[in-house]
Structure formats: structure tokens, C-alpha cells
Amino acid sequence: MFDRIGDFIAYDVLDLSGRFGEAVQFFVMDVVKITVLMSIMIFVIGYIRSYFPVEKVRDYLSGKRKIGGYIGAAGLGVLSPYCSCSTIPFFIGFVEAGIPLGMTFTFLITSPIVNEISIVLLISMFGWKIAFLYVFAGVMVALFAGLLIEKLHLEKYVQDYVYQIKSQQVAVTVELSQADRLVTAFNGVYETVKKVGPYLLIGIAIAAGFHGFIPAEFIMRVAGGDNWYGPIVGTLIGVPLYSNAIGTLPVIEVLVGKGMAIGTALAFMMSTVALSVPEGLLLSRVLKKELVIIFFVIVTLGITIIGYLFNFIL
């Protein structure tokens, strides 16, 4: 259905042809497809999330034992469609609430890497198998990093003022009506589309350019399955960039179609959405530089290993 819309706009309405026509067709098709899928999922999850305010989330995590808490933090990250920078306020709130530092990092990593929107898009682009492996790998990286940070006892590298913040607000539970929940879900769709829209358009535009103008032979030579250094390069290139899964997936789809090894492509995607320079700057406001560096190193190594494993088994 979506490819027909792209065909109609590019070839019938605009009367294009050749590589430029292919690029425009891909751009229109992916914009429509991703926007529709994203809007549906945001609405559904937004409605469900209206039953779970932030206070309940904090109480849930703070009341859990070690294993249950980490699994809960990862699960909440999956249900939170935030980019890496958007999770920082939650990180501060969790630390204030006394939730163990490792659990907060597990949430911080899982939230941008794995969420319901990226899962649906991964399934539509690559199928259930790769989507499942990506989700599993993302959660494993988050759990590993969180547990390691806990084992290293790095609480001393949290800025002192974070522990001294005392909330002056009294939590008031307000029961929402069904109409309120629907409005909340619709507002979530609007706000999310408005927020990620520029990244989505830029990502699809780049992907369309790759699709129409970058030869498959070039991708195979630079990042094909035979290159042992592919996952390392993919991860390191992604670290300084800043995007979200929605904006990155169209690029990944084209790169894999052109011959990039799937592990290299997904490592690039994970590092792009989980780590970024803006995130590092924001984290430095609540963490000392030693912990920011440790966090980046642990996650980078974990993602690189995942990239090699994906290249080996897929």
C-alpha cells in the first residue's frame, strides 16, 4: 500500500524517472509508512501509559529487589519512547527517589534503544527475527551496563547536589476519565510527531539519497560482512551523532539493502540513539566526568560486541 503511494506521487504526479525518481518514491513511501505506524503506536501506548503516572513508576522501581528492579527498569525503558536526552529528567527523578544507580542507567540505556515504535518499524523493515534479536540485544546491553555500574559502586561520581534535592511537591492522584485518557493519547501523538518530525524527515531524506545514488558495491566494500572492523567503525561513527530510532531506521534499512552487514548497521543505530554529545553534556550536569566517561565506554563496548555477534549469527 505505502509503495503505491510513493509510486503515485513520484511517477504519476511529479512525472519523475531515473535515480532521482527512485529517491523521491522512497522518501514519500517511508514518510507515509513511518508516520502512520508511529502515530498508531504512540496513541495506543499513550493511552495505556495514562494509567501509570511517574509517581507509580518511581514507587514500583524503588520497591523492587535487585533482579526484579533491573528487569522492571528495562521494561519501563521499552515502554518509554524517548530519545537519549529526554530521559535525563527521569534519571534525576529516579536518583532523587533513592532508586539504585545501576537501575537508573538500565532505564537510561533501554529507553532510546528499544521502544514500541522502533519495534514495529523493525518488524516492518526486517521481520520478526531481527526485531526480536535487536530488542533482546538492546535490553542485554542495558542490563549489563547497569549491573556493572552497580558492582563498581560509582555513586560517589554523582554530583552532590542531586542527592540533596528534596521535592517540595505533594503527589496528588487524579483519576482520569476515558475522555481525558483519549485526549492525553492524542496529545502524545501530536507532541511526539512534532518533536521527532525533523529527525524523521532528515533521516528519510538521507536514506532516499543513499537509495537512489549510492552504489551497492561501495557499501559492500566499506561495511560489508567480510570487513572485520565493520562493527567497530559503525559504533564509533554513531557515538557523536544525535538522533532517535525513528529517524535512524530509514537509513539503516537502505544501508542493509545496499549490502551493509546487519550487525554493523544495528551497532551504528544503537550507538546513535543511545549515546550522543548532547547526552554527554546533559549527563555532566548530574554526573561527574569520570562516570560519564565510564558510562560511554561500557555502552560502546557492549554495542560493538553485539554488532559482532549479529554479524556472526545472521
What are the structural domain ranges in the chain?
2-313
pLDDT digits (tens, 9 = 90+) for 78-114: 876 555 555 666 676 677 666 788 888 998 888 888 8
Which is nearest to 1 in space by CA: 123, 154, 124, 89?
Answer: 124
Least confident of 125-129, 146-150, 225-229: 225-229
pLDDT band at 166 (very low <50, low <70, confident <90, very high): very low
For the record, the C-alpha cell of 106 comes out as: 538500565
Amino acid residing at 267: A
* Predicted local distance difference test score (pLDDT) of residue 296: 92
pLDDT digits (tens, 9 = 90+) for 233-253: 888 888 877 677 777 888 888
Calculate ∠ Cα 60-63-64, nearest 5°. 90
pTM score above 0.85: no
pLDDT digits (tens, 9 = 90+) for 258-314: 888 899 989 988 888 888 776 787 688 778 889 989 999 999 999 999 999 998 887
Least confident of 61-75, 167-181, 278-292: 167-181
CA distance 208 to 214: 10
Give the torsion sign (CA, 276, 46, 181, 91): negative
% the chain with pLDDT above 90:
14
CA distance 313 to 191: 39
Which is nearest to 275 in space by CA: 237, 249, 247, 306?
Answer: 237
